[in-house]
Each structure stands twice: as C-alpha cells, then as structure tokens.
Structure 1
C-alpha cells in the first residue's frame, strides 16, 4: 500500500527545481519565484486535498484497464521510444522474433511488416487480444517474462519494450532471453527512466475492484542491466538514453502537442493524477524535469 499526497508531489518538484538553481542553472529571480510559490502551496494545502492510498496490482491487473486506450496518441514515452527501437530493428536480418511483454503489439506489428515471423508473449489477455487483431499472422501466448512458454534456441531476435521496470529481479528474465535466443541472436530492450532520476513513480490505475491501485515502476541504473546481461554472454551493440522534451509541459501544464487539456483533479481521498497538478507549477515542473532521461534503449547480441 502506498499513500500519495498532491502537496508532496508539488513540493518535491519545487525542491528539485531549487536544487538545480543552487547548482547554478537558474537565477535569483527564479529562486524567489519558487519560494513564493511554495508559500502559496502551503497556504492551499487543504484545497489540494489529502491524496489517498493505492494497493499494489499485478501487471495483468493493471494492463487490463489500459488495454483499450494504450495505443491512443499523445504518449510522450511511446513517441520517443518507438522510433529508436524501430531504427535498431531495421539493422537486423529477418527471422523468428519474440516480442516479450508484447502488449498491444506495437513492435510486433512492425516486425511482421519487416518480414519477421512473430511470437508475442504477455501476461495480459486483454493486451494480447489487441495484439492478435493487429498481427493476425502472429502467434500470441499468455506467459510471464521469467518463464517464457517458448523452446530453447528458437529465436533470432527478442524484443522487450517498456516492461522490465515492473520486474523485481532482472536476472531470471535475462536468463530466459538467453535461453530462447540462438547464438548470435539479438536482444533489443527499452525501459522507462524514472521521472526524476532514480525515482520511479508508481503508476496509479483503477484496479479490478474499482479502487485505485498501482503498478511498481522501477528506474534502474545502466549497471544493473549490464550486471545480469554480460555473464550470460550478451555483448552491448547499442545503448541510448533519450532525454525528455523541453519544455516538459507548456504554460497550460500539459506536454506541448499533447491532445486535450490537463485532466481534472482526482477525487478527494484518492491518489492525485500528477498531470492535473502540473498546471499549478509549470515553471518548477519544467526545471525539475529538464535534462532528465525518458528511457534507456539497448541492443545486445548473444555471443555464446
């Protein structure tokens, strides 16, 4: 169980913004504005509400509610991660590709268009149903990343996109990737970065019982991926950490170019939607998120 308070998030952003100013990125006027804004936020604490609790969900429970809307436009992370992953896939010869944690088939459909024979694995039946509709020729099975329901040495490529942040331990997952890949095969991995450095904010969503729940969203250092990949015989062929767009949010508190307005505040007694809070402090939000990585994207090759 977690408890998220809107004032805690807002003051956290103000604090990061002030630390960046302390390091020389912003001037005296900026600091004065942030301190005044903090006083105003403290005066409005009751107006912002108390926030609320959320219970931990499994990935299958969380993605059940996301499946219908996951592919809607306007997701900054998908818009930045997708082209980088596709550029890496374009470098590889076609063959058998496993899309591990395939979700709605974003990458599976691209692989099929490229001529790969696609096998998708995901824990969510709802996400798999969307993927099957996109890639009728693909084979899609329900399964876990730490126990892929696939034979040894059967794949030329494994793709795992934006899923490992939900996994508590990378070691068994990378061992599975190595098991299903043929020697010389490639592994393309993307993972989200925490919004504020190593702070992987939990993703709050409505659970199956209708109450707020959250999915863990870890932000790992690059060394953690290397520590599990290298002993298994993987060698690094590419690593990239794209930065968040600047400005992170516009004057209205939403990402530039994003469809629609900021969402309304969450009901009292529930965790806040952080995107509804950004309009209250857009300058601090931009300063806090400035220059932070949005994702990490790897291409490994299995050499043994």
Structure 2
C-alpha cells in the first residue's frame, strides 16, 4: 500500500529545485521565488485535496488498463527509448528473436520487418492481443520473465524493453535470458529511470476492480545490471543513458511535444495525477527534473 499526497509531491519538487540552487545551478532570485511558492502551496493545502492510497498490482493487472492506449503518440519515454533500441537492433543480423515482456509488440513489429522470426512473451493477455494483431507472423505466448516458455539455446536475440523496473530481482531474469540465448547471441535491454533520477515513483493506474492500484517502478544503478549479467558470461557492447528533454514541462504544463491538454486533477481520495500538478509549479518542476536520465539502454553479448 502507498499513500500519495499532492502537496507532498509539489513540496518534494520544490525541495529538489532548491537543492540544485544550493549547489550553484540557480541564483538568488530563483531561490526567493521557490520559497515564496512553498509558502503559497502550504497556504493552499486544502485546495489540493488529501491524495489517496493504492494497493500493489501485478504487471498483468496494471497493463490491462494500458493496452488500448499504450502505443498512442506523446509518451515521452517511448519516443526517446524506441529509436535507441532500434539503432542497436539495426546492427544485428536477422535470426530468431525473443521479445521478452513484449507488451503491444512495438519492438516485435520492428524485428519482424527486419526479417527476424519473432517470439513474444508477456504476462498480460490484453497486451498480447494487441501484439498478435500487429505482428500476425509472430508467435506470442503468455509467460513470466523468471520462467520464459522458450527452450534452452533457442534464440539469437533477446529484447527486453521497459520491463525490468517492475521486477524485484534481476538475477533470475538474466539467468533466463542466458538460458534461452545461443552462445554469441545478443541481449538488448532498456529500462526507465525513476522520474527523479534515483527515485522510482510507483505508476498508479486503475486496477481490475476499478479502484486505483500501483505498479512498482524501481530505478536501478548501472552496477545492478552488471552484477546480474557479467557472471553469466554476458559482455557489454553498448550502454547509454538518454537525458530528459529540457524543459521537462512545457508552457502548458505538459511534456514538450505531448498532444492534448494536461489531464485533470485526480478525484479527492485518490492518488494525484502527477502531470496535472506540474502546471502549478512549472519552474520548480523543470529545475527538479533537469539533467536526469529518462532511461538506460544496454546491449550485451553472451560469450559463453
């Protein structure tokens, strides 16, 4: 169970922005503006509502609500991560490719166009249904990252995109990747960074019972991926951490380039919609998020 209060999030952003100013990134005028904004927020606390609590969901439960709209344009993370992953896939010859935690098949579709024989595995039947419609030539199977329904030494390439942040322990997942890969095969992994660098804010969605629920969203150190991968014979061929756009919040309070209006505030008694809060303090939000990575993207090769 988590409890998220809108005032706590806003004051937290102000605090990060003030720490950046304390480190020399902003001037006295900026500090004065932030302190005045904090006072104003505290005076208006009742207007922001009490926030709310949410219980933890499984990946299948959380992604069921995302499946119909997951591929819609304007997702800042997908817009940045997708081209980087595809550039790594372009370097690899066609073969048998496993898209692990394939979701709606956005990478599986690209792999199929590149001439790969595609297998997709995901825990969400709703996401798999979208993937099957998108990639009719692929084989899509329900399964978990810790127990992939794929034989040993069966694939030339594994892609796992934006999924490991939901996994409590990387080691058994990387062990599965090593098991299904043929020697010399490649592993391409992308993972989101927490919205504030090393803080993995839970992702709140509507659960199957209609009430808010959350999916854990861990923000890991690069060393954690290496500790899971290197003992299994994986070697690093590429690592990149793309940065968030600046400004992080546009003039309308939405991510730059995002279509549509800022979403409305969450109903009283539910966790806040973060994007609906950013317009209240855009300067602090931009300062807090500035210079933080949005994702980490790896390419490993299995050498043994």
TM-score interval (norm. to shorter): over 0.9
Alpha-carbon shift at residue 198 of structure 1 (Å): 1.1
Matched, 1:84 2:84: yes
Question: Where does residue 130 of structure 1 map in the other structure?
Answer: 130
1:117-158 C-alpha deviation (Å, 9 max, x unpaired): 000000000000000001000000000000000000010000
> In the TM superposition, what whole-angstrom CA distance separates every residue of 1:32-70 from its partner, at most 9, and x where no partner exists?
000000000000000000000000000000000100000
Q: C-alpha displacement at 1:197, in angstroms?
A: 1.7
Name 1:263's counterpart in structure 2. 263
Range moving further from structure 2, 257-266 or 71-80: 257-266
What is the SS of the residue equivalent to 1:140?
strand
Match of 2:154 in 1: 154
1:69-124 CA-to-partner distances (Å, cap 9, x unmatched) read 00000000000000000000000011000000000000000000000000000000
Aligned residues between the structures:
304
- Counterparts of 1:30 and 1:252, CA distance in 2: 20
Write the distance in 2 (CA, Å) between the matches of 1:229 and 1:238.
Answer: 13
Q: TM-score, normalised by structure 2?
A: 1.00
- Which residue of structure 1 lines up, in the alignment, with residue 12 of structure 2? 12
Q: Please name the residue that 2:174 is paired with.
A: 174
Map of 2:47 onto structure 1: 47
* Corresponding residue number in structure 1 for 2:206: 206
User: How far apart in 2 are the matches of 1:250 and 1:142?
Assistant: 39
TM-score by length of structure 1 reads 1.00
1:239 lines up with 2:202 in the alignment: no
Equivalent position SS for 1:115: coil
Structure 2: segments with no counterpart, 5+ residues: none
Deviant stretches of 4+, over 4 Å: none
**2: distance between equivalents of 1:164 and 1:287?**
28
Are residues 1:291 and 2:291 paired? yes
Q: Secondary structure at the match of 1:269?
A: coil
> C-alpha separation between the residues in 1 aligned to 2:280 and 2:185?
49
- In 2, Cα distance between equivalents of 1:87 and 1:251: 32
Structure-1 separation of matches of 2:69 and 2:212:
18
Please give the root-mean-square deviation of Cα atoms over the aligned residues, in Å.
0.4
Instruction: Quote the offset at 1:255 in angstroms.
Output: 1.1
User: Which whole-Å deviations, capped at 9, do the CAs of 1:15-38 have from their partners, x for residues lacking one?
Assistant: 000000000000000000000000
**C-alpha separation in 2, matches of 1:258 and 1:149:** 37
**How far did 1:169 drift?**
0.4
Q: For 1:97 and 1:256, how far apart are their aligned partners in 2?
A: 34
Task: State the match for 1:195 in structure 2.
Answer: 195
The 5 A counterparts of 1:211-230 are: 211-230=211-230
Q: CA deviation at 1:261?
A: 1.2
| Cα offset, 1:256, TM superposition | 1.6
Q: Aligned equivalents of 2:206 and 2:114: distance in 1?
A: 36
* Alpha-carbon distance in structure 2 between the residues aligned to 1:265 and 1:273: 6
Question: Who is 1:108 aligned against?
Answer: 108
Query: What's 2:98 paired with?
Result: 98
Separation in structure 2 between the aligned mates of residue 243 and residue 26 of structure 1, nearest angstrom: 20
Partner of residue 22, structure 1: 22
